[in-house]
Chains A and B, each alone.
Chain A
Amino acid sequence: MKHRWITDRGLWLESRACTLGLKQKIEAAALPEVEAVVPGDGSLLVVLQPGQGAGPVLLDLINKAQPDASLEVLGRHHEIPVIYGGDAGPDLERVADAAGLTTSQAVELHAGAQYRVAFLGFQPGFAYLAGTPTPLQTARRSAPRARVPAGSVALGGMYTGIYPGTSPGGWLLIGRTREWVFDPLRKPPARFTPGDHVRFVPR
């Protein structure tokens, strides 16, 4: 696999389907020059310690990686109780309408799917959950809301996400959970890690 650079510290790989598997392989190798391995949507950023180059083991892992190979991915399992619709999910009707479903069918479809944490970003603890059923995949709001309540379960493009804290946001809000998502004083601080599985349970 060819690599490119994001600044002189980040070795960038177009890792596609093998992103999470390759991430876990590089982490398991516990290489001294690697500071962090950060997945994106189909890409992987290997952050090197300042002043370090990529060593032979890392280069070998990268050269041998097949972007379309599905490697084993380890992860924990989370069940997240959600109150769908109403004040908790003001966009549920709009999402259901666009999919040609009733709101209860849309909830059933969303809660029936298994999700995988693809990567985190946007703000601390915000996980991009892959696995949103196609009929529920929607465009984002053209104008973001100034204030999305913490715990909001939301749809954005191919992904489902849970807002860890109250913040502005452009995704469509379909429900809310009271579960913690990010807390800097906990260990680990983020509920979700790339590779984890998530199911939503209607309440």
Chain B
Amino acid sequence: MKLRFARSGWAVKVLTALGAIALGGCAYTSNLTNPHPSQEPVADTPERGRVLYLRDCAWCHAAEGSGTGRGPDLISGTNGAAFTDFMLSTGRMPINDPSEPTRFSSPSYNPSEIEDLVAYVASLGGDGPPIPVVDTQAGDLALGLELYQENCAACHSTTGVGGALAAGPDPFDRSLIAPALTQSTPIQIAEAMQVGPGTMPVFGRDTLASTEVDSIVRYLGHLQTPDDRGGLPLGHVGPVTEGAIGWLVGVGGALLIVRLIGTRVGEE
């Protein structure tokens, strides 16, 4: 066996090496995945928050929330009720593979389970902001636009579709994204602003008054149903998709038309 492999071509050797590395990598990452993935409902008792936490969260964040090599602590910085509620209600947590970046997805828990988990995590000692109270109707649309443009548009785009951030400069780093805000609820928006999740700055209660928060939320609500009276929005990213359509439909369409009007070589 060994002799035959040693005589095989370089391509076989390289592919085998790559395969071994891939398998090893899988084995390594599998060490990171949740050893207790469970969808079974937990009984609704006063202890539910703690039970869920110990079952699903403690393997990364430690039983008392002090953090492990796989996940940060839940006590320092802006950790608290708002942070926990944001991560759970946007489906960013729990996560099966901590080496993956967090992403917006559907929540793993129902609202009352989230409430219990939030209460338990908040009790661990973090003094971050509580779940904010947001009154969208009290916000002013024009003020919201001004504040959004000043503080948020650079990362999340003026149209709210999000954008790429500075991952790297190692070219093989995973991507970093300021997410699209098209599906965020008012509370989630306010929570994110006050807590600064991931790589987002903190726009906290000392920086923005509650009327300003309400206004930004109201403007984002408006952006979520944008005024596209011009027609198809083409992704709301501007000149890139517009140029593509200009070429494909405009120039391409016109070229098709002249092909129909003119002759080809060999025709009269």
Chain A bound to chain B: no
